Structure 1
Amino acid sequence: MPGGGGSQADDARAFREAVRVVLGELGPSDRAGQGLPFLPELPGRGATASMTGRSLAVLEGLDVDLQPAGWRLTGTSGTPGLDHRRTRSLLAQDLDTLEELADGYEGAFKIQVAGPWTLAATVEKPRGEKVLSDHGARRELAESLAEGLADHVADVRRRLPNLDRLVVQVDEPALAAVLGGAVPNASGFHRLRSVDRSEASALLGQVLDVVSGAGAEPWVHACAAGTPWALVRGAGARGLVVDLGVLGAADHDVLAEAFEAEETVVLGVVPGTDPGVLPTEAGVVARVERWLDMLGLDPASGHLGLAPACGLAGASAHDAREALTLLRASASRLS
């Protein structure tokens, strides 16, 4: 859902509307099949509200600033610059809005943060080149994210004290490219060396372990083909959020194993790039039932969720509401 694209007041109103949509469509009601409300992200408000900017606001012990080429680490001074203060301030304001509108909310809730490998593939070191290029820098970034995430989870629980379940979705859209040596360097003329799978698992696992230790449920989301779901699950993810349209044969087997182990599998079945053109409820249900039948799975025997294929960042408030209504109705029919 885009931001207002105008003044701060317009953007604040857009965020309030997004929260109302999420709580209204996915929160508890007398309708069957409660959804999973979440903290919206509106990247249309600018870099401080992007997936990367939002996640950098959570870092502990590392400072960042915004350059023409994107976000860059600036060191460990403990004195955040203007851009870093802005992204932290925006997150705090959004949490204030959530706390106000979700006052008294009981049930489950989800927050999102970019994972260590997606951040490493996106953020640059102080003197240039991406964090991904430096073994020590990517380890330090993952540690900073993990430490800050523990505080972030505690803050959300303080603001929403009646939650009986908090999910932390770690977004790793770049993980497949990191492992495949497909991430371009800062100049764009070369590709950075691929990362060893054991290191990829270890740093991702470090962040997921912190989520579990904070009393939340760690999920991992990626909508890129080739995402190593067995590695993700082995690193400690207890929820896998996938785009059903890009899965390979081996992916299906991993998801079936997770489902049978009573972990959560969330299938992306609604397009995020053109949310104004939605499938029918019957079409969504039939597509998911075919997938379940192919794997011999009973939807009532596991934890199955439905979601947009890769977010709704380009959707209007109206289109987002329609998509969430469709997903909730489809999930109710399946259950």
Structure 2
Amino acid sequence: MTDVRIPVGVATGVGSWPGTDPREAAEIVVGELPALPHLVELPARGIGADMIGRAAALLVDMPLDASTTGYRLTQRIGMVTRTARDLLARDVDALEEAWELAGRRGTEQPVKVQTVGPLTLASQVELSGGHRVLTDRGALRDLTESLAEGVAEHVAEAARRLGSPIVVQLDEPALNAVLAGSLPGVSILQAPRALPEPEALALLQSAIERIGAPVLVHCCAADVPWGLLRRSGAAMVGFDVSTLRTEDLDGVGELLDADVDLALGLVPATAPERTPDWRELAEPATRLLDRLGFARTLLSSRVVVTPSCGLAGASPEWSRSALRAASDVTRAFADGVDPAEMP
């Protein structure tokens, strides 16, 4: 592990972005997120560009292809893997160009890259027979190792190209479904069994250790397995604050107690009927820390502000507005401004 850290007290994006133009997206992200820009995903480009398809560009010696129901492991590199690699290369080219134009190359300014996490990937990718990788413990282990190796190579390449340190986000939206055994199978009698938490933890730990860069694990679904993420080796855990329940509070507090920082999803991922101001967006965060019994100063020293999830489903106008709103909230936190005391 390097001495690179994920910045706190800043805003960043979760990952996906609307549209199909990587250069336009890179210019916006670099401009709107000066403290922690990220390499966006553009799923509107189709197969190989979505969260699962992008993994095809990262997996080492485990090609993916398309099936009638999604993505499937295959023996040979085919169209899907070639397309995914080409799209990822274009995205890195675009970010490098925007980074260079912004005068950031060679600085100590971190950049975030995203990938689907190993457990969610295994829950969505099929074996040759149509069953999910999750149903085969050997294949699950191999997929985890392949992904981690590919992400480590991606981190090294991005660091070289950008001349800047890289931090990693692992997206695990299906984590709770994997642990609960609630994923459908090819038949009612062949649904994947629940993956025991110790096995899931060991896989996530091994991936994070192999990546060798600071990792933020993001889960925007409800029922986040707080204890597993706390022990995973992640430097930061991200989640949608609007999904929190009373029973989640202890888990969030234990993350902070364990020196795991938080990426709080405070900004809606799609345009609301009425655009909230920064006070409304900040209030759930201040209320959360109050309920946990932590000082509000942690909002600038232990927290990153993000949209609640990826922005692929938003309009281009709202996507830019969402990043600006996240930055506005972080500035208020840095200034120690209390939303409740504002007129």
2:18·2:314 contact (CA, 8 Å) conserved in 1?
no
1:240·1:255 contact (CA, 8 Å) conserved in 2?
no
Which whole-Å deviations, capped at 9, do the CAs of 1:277-318 have from their partners, x for residues lacking one? 542211112221111111122243431111111111112222
Aligned to 1:21: 28
Which of 215, 221, 226 aligns to 2:223? It is 226
1:100 paired with 2:97, answer yes
1:201 paired with 2:201, answer yes
1:21·1:317 contact (CA, 8 Å) conserved in 2?
no
What is the letter of the counterpart of residue 25 of structure 1? E
Aligned to 1:182: 182
The higher relative CO (CA closer than 8 Å, separation ≥ 6) is in 2
1:244 paired with 2:241, answer yes
Distance of 1:200 and 1:184 partners within structure 2: 18
What is the letter of the counterpart of residue 95 of structure 1? V
State the identity %.
Answer: 42
Q: 1:41 to 1:217 in 2, by over 3 A?
A: same
Which whole-Å deviations, capped at 9, do the CAs of 1:114-158 have from their partners, x for residues lacking one? 011101110000121111111111111111111111101101101
Distance of 1:44 and 1:17 partners within structure 2: 14
Distance of 2:205 and 2:177 partners within structure 1: 18
Q: Following TM superposition, by how much is the alpha carbon of 1:252 offset from its aligned partner in structure 2, in angstroms?
A: 2.2
Distance of 1:252 and 1:306 partners within structure 2: 18
Q: Following TM superposition, by how much is the alpha carbon of 1:264 offset from its aligned partner in structure 2, in angstroms?
A: 1.8
Q: 1:293 to 1:188 in 2, by over 3 A?
A: same
Aligned to 1:68: 68
Q: Following TM superposition, by how much is the alpha carbon of 1:190 offset from its aligned partner in structure 2, in angstroms?
A: 5.8
Distance of 2:136 and 2:253 partners within structure 1: 36
* SS class of match (1:48): coil
TM normalised by structure 1 equals 0.88
What is the letter of the counterpart of residue 295 of structure 1? L
Aligned to 1:131: 133
Which of 157, 163, 180 aligns to 1:155? It is 157
1:316 paired with 2:315, answer yes
Q: 1:287 to 1:186 in 2, by over 3 A?
A: same
2:269·2:322 contact (CA, 8 Å) conserved in 1?
no
Q: Which deviates more, 148-157 or 302-311?
A: 302-311
Distance of 1:146 and 1:277 partners within structure 2: 41
Q: Following TM superposition, by how much is the alpha carbon of 1:254 offset from its aligned partner in structure 2, in angstroms?
A: 2.7
* Structure 1: 5+ residue stretches without partners: 5-10, 28-34
1:17·1:317 contact (CA, 8 Å) conserved in 2?
no
Distance of 1:251 and 1:37 partners within structure 2: 29
1:49·1:90 contact (CA, 8 Å) conserved in 2?
yes
What is the letter of the counterpart of residue 278 of structure 2? E
Q: 1:63 to 1:25 in 2, by over 3 A?
A: same
1:276·1:315 contact (CA, 8 Å) conserved in 2?
no
Q: 1:227 to 1:121 in 2, by over 3 A?
A: same
2:174·2:221 contact (CA, 8 Å) conserved in 1?
yes
Aligned to 1:82: 79
Distance of 2:286 and 2:95 partners within structure 1: 35
1:264 paired with 2:266, answer no
Q: 1:324 to 1:226 in 2, by over 3 A?
A: same
1:244·1:268 contact (CA, 8 Å) conserved in 2?
yes
Aligned to 2:11: none
Q: 1:16 to 1:306 in 2, by over 3 A?
A: same
Aligned to 1:48: 48
Q: Following TM superposition, by how much is the alpha carbon of 1:247 offset from its aligned partner in structure 2, in angstroms?
A: 2.0
Aligned to 1:32: none
Distance of 2:274 and 2:189 partners within structure 1: 37
Distance of 2:188 and 2:88 partners within structure 1: 31
Distance of 1:181 and 1:261 partners within structure 2: 28
Q: 1:276 to 1:237 in 2, by over 3 A?
A: farther
1:118 paired with 2:120, answer yes
Number of residues paired by the alignment?
312
Q: 1:277 to 1:323 in 2, by over 3 A?
A: farther
Q: Following TM superposition, by how much is the alpha carbon of 1:255 offset from its aligned partner in structure 2, in angstroms?
A: 2.3
Distance of 1:258 and 1:322 partners within structure 2: 30
